A and B are shown apart, each in its own frame.
Chain A
Amino acid sequence: MRIQTSDLSKTYDKKYTALENLTLDLNLNGIFSIIGRNGAGKTTFVRIMSTELMPTSGSGFINEMDVVSQAIEVRQQIAVVPQEARPLPWLTPLQTVSSYLMWRGYSYREANEKGKEALRELGLEGKEREKSRKLSGGQKRKLMVATVISSEAPVVFLDEPTTGLDYLSRKELWQLLSKMKKDRLIILTTHYLEEAEILGDQIMILDSGKLVDIGKIDDLRAKVKLPYVLKVYSDNFKIEDNELQVHPVSEKETFVYGSATKIYGLMPYLVTNKMKFTVEEASLSSIFEQYVGGEEGENEKEDW
């Protein structure tokens, strides 16, 4: 699947720039995670590319079809679960999935068959005929995802599908997405960096409407100054080095971020002093902080 944008911009009310000259060209399958702070432009990007919202300027293409002038053709190929979408409370899960498939043009019978299949895969087969309002929060989100995933659309947009879910429910949804990503492109926005890291075959970082970087996690890691983290479990560990970032987590636990050379340079000291330690590659949250930086709340905007 190919996603392209050229100088894609969106300004609301001629004042608020949510997306600024976004240019990218991607040819990929699997899960494309989009991360960024509130107001980074994640939802705006999804809404424009899923033909819900007109851009102010620039262009966007899905499989070489213009999302503005060829919206009808694009809509044959995409499906979207918007942020905050939820199942209609008066419908059963089967009615939810099958009616969406009918809106996509499936016959009543096909939609019901595919709906039952989707619910079986989801582990909701016993609840086919219960009203959706009786489902748990996690089941409702899974149902929304299953609704679009059960369609034939090769490109699926999921705007923060796991927001508000507990860890185990999120994990269940991750498993579902990992299973469903074969032969299609799932464009996923999320605030959970761990989720983006686990699921994302490619990751895009947005900040204040601008593209910060894009690539596989290893590519992103390779570009930051502090790609490794040393975790030291000792109350005697103390170090001062301008090229290292030291974060004491507790009295007996310290995280040290740095380059491979710097981190591995500390090994003899740690071994000599019999300190327990582990060395890991920096997680996406650490990479994200290094890219975007700033204190929590700084530059935070309404979610666009």
Chain B
Amino acid sequence: MKRKIGSQILASILVNSVYAMINYPVVLINTLLAPLAILAVVTFASKGALLPVAAVGALIMNMVSSGTSLQQDLSHLKNDMRLQDMIVSSPTTSLVYIVGMAISEIVYSIPTLAFLVILNVIFVKITLLGGLIIFLDMATIFTFSISLGFYLSTFTSDIIQSWGFSGILSPLLTTIPPVYYPITYIPYPYRYLAYLSPTTYASEIAQSQTGFFNPGVVGFSIAWIVLLAITGALTYLALKRSRWREN
């Protein structure tokens, strides 16, 4: 029979987001609440001054959350439901499965993304080129988080371990690093620590377009190079080294 890759991708999207949203709408509130909660706190604490930074930061958090959610979803489907074993033994490849699952996370985030994009359009003044750069920045950090999520999910043996990973990743990648606030707010030498997180580079790129941080051409280029290098390396690891078939 002729197998349709589109159907294989659609299956992941339907199972992991569309059917879940239809059957359990409460999950939509959950995904919406996390980035908006920090956005609200930062906005109120800065008396509105940091709203544009936080609005872009919420977008970054949303992208990273897709990866942590993916890690939890994949781990649950693999360890608790044994679905991944059925998929491994089917004509679906790991790449097709992960692409479908990654898109499903985006579909899951559509209401949140729509809200955040509207917020950004209203409160963040950027050029068309700036918008395009932020879009590419988001796409890269999304690829990074999805790869990380997939990579970790193949190593988790149960859902408790998976929650542990998510619990660590979320603050380390979004809450503590300068995602919701400019990096200049961090005093030296702690600022160097912030550069351990790839989201700092993504955030610098986004903040440079909103006028909150000026890294200069060199800093801007370095941020892109580091972000792309980390994302590339992790994507390679996820595709090549993760345990699709167990040893």
Q: Which A residues form the contact surface with B (CB < 8 A)?
A: 47, 50-54, 71-72, 75-76, 78-86, 88, 90-91, 95, 99-100, 102-108, 111, 131, 148, 152, 157
- Determine which of B23, B82, B83, B89 lies in contact with A75 in the assembled complex, contact meaning CB atoms within 8 Å: B89
| Nearest 5 Cβ contacts at the A-B interface | A105-B3, A102-B11, A85-B82, A82-B85, A80-B89
Number of residues from B at the complex interface, CB < 8 A = 33
CB distance from B120 to the nearest CB of A (A): 32
A and B contact pairs by CB, cutoff 8 A, 21 listed? A47-B85, A52-B245, A53-B245, A54-B247, A71-B245, A72-B91, A72-B93, A76-B3, A80-B85, A85-B85, A88-B77, A90-B19, A99-B11, A100-B90, A102-B7, A102-B10, A103-B97, A105-B8, A106-B3, A107-B4, A107-B7
A54 to B88, CA, bound (A): 12
List which B66-97 residues lie within 8 A (CB) of chain A.
77, 81-83, 85-93, 97
Across the interface, which residues of A come within 8 angstroms of B5, CB to CB?
Answer: 105
Contact A52 B7 (CB under 8 A): no
> How many pairs, one residue from A and one from B, have CB atoms within 8 Å of each other in the complex?
108
CB distance from A39 to the nearest CB of B (A): 18
CB distance from B237 to the nearest CB of A (A): 19
CB-CB nearest in chain B for A133: B23
Contact B245 A84 (CB under 8 A): no
Contact B87 A103 (CB under 8 A): yes
List which B13-46 residues lie within 8 A (CB) of chain A.
14-15, 19-20, 23-24
Across the interface, which residues of A come within 8 angstroms of B19, CB to CB?
Answer: 90-91, 95, 99
A148 to B86, CA, bound (A): 9
Contact A105 B86 (CB under 8 A): no
- Determine which of A82, A83, A90, A106 lies in contact with B4 in the assembled complex, contact meaning CB atoms within 8 Å: A106
- Determine which of A83, A86, A104 lies in contact with B92 in the assembled complex, contact meaning CB atoms within 8 Å: A104
- Determine which of B3, B24, B88 lies in contact with A104 in the assembled complex, contact meaning CB atoms within 8 Å: B3
Are A80 and B86 CB-contacts (below 8 A) given A54-B246, A88-B15, A90-B19? yes
Contact B88 A51 (CB under 8 A): yes
Are A54 and B245 CB-contacts (below 8 A) given A88-B83, A108-B7? yes
A74 to B10, CA, bound (A): 23
Contact A79 B89 (CB under 8 A): yes
Across the interface, which residues of A come within 8 angstroms of B1, CB to CB?
Answer: 105-106, 152
Of the candidates B2, B14, B15, the one having the most CB atoms from chain A within 10 angstroms of its own CB is: B15
CB distance from B179 to the nearest CB of A (A): 31
A86 to B3, CA, bound (A): 25
Across the interface, which residues of A come within 8 angstroms of B245, CB to CB?
Answer: 51-54, 71
Are A105 and B91 CB-contacts (below 8 A) given A71-B245, A91-B15, A111-B7? yes
Across the interface, which residues of A come within 8 angstroms of B14, CB to CB?
Answer: 95, 99, 102
CB-CB nearest in chain B for A49: B89
CB distance from B247 to the nearest CB of A (A): 5
CB distance from A236 to the nearest CB of B (A): 55
Across the interface, which residues of A come within 8 angstroms of B24, CB to CB?
Answer: 90
A81 to B82, CA, bound (A): 9
Across the interface, which residues of B come within 8 angstroms of A80, CB to CB?
Answer: 85-86, 89
A131 to B22, CA, bound (A): 11
Across the interface, which residues of B come within 8 angstroms of A54, CB to CB?
Answer: 245-247
CB distance from A60 to the nearest CB of B (A): 13
A152 to B3, CA, bound (A): 12
A104 to B86, CA, bound (A): 10
Of the candidates A78, A80, A81, the one having the most CB atoms from chain B within 10 angstroms of its own CB is: A80
Across the interface, which residues of A come within 8 angstroms of B85, CB to CB?
Answer: 47, 52, 80, 82, 85
Across the interface, which residues of A come within 8 angstroms of B93, CB to CB?
Answer: 72
Contact A85 B7 (CB under 8 A): no
Contact A81 B86 (CB under 8 A): yes
Are A99 and B15 CB-contacts (below 8 A) given A53-B245, A80-B85, A85-B83? yes
A50 to B20, CA, bound (A): 29
Are A82 and B20 CB-contacts (below 8 A) given A105-B7, A107-B7, A108-B7? no
CB-CB nearest in chain B for A73: B91
Contact B10 A50 (CB under 8 A): no
A91 to B3, CA, bound (A): 23
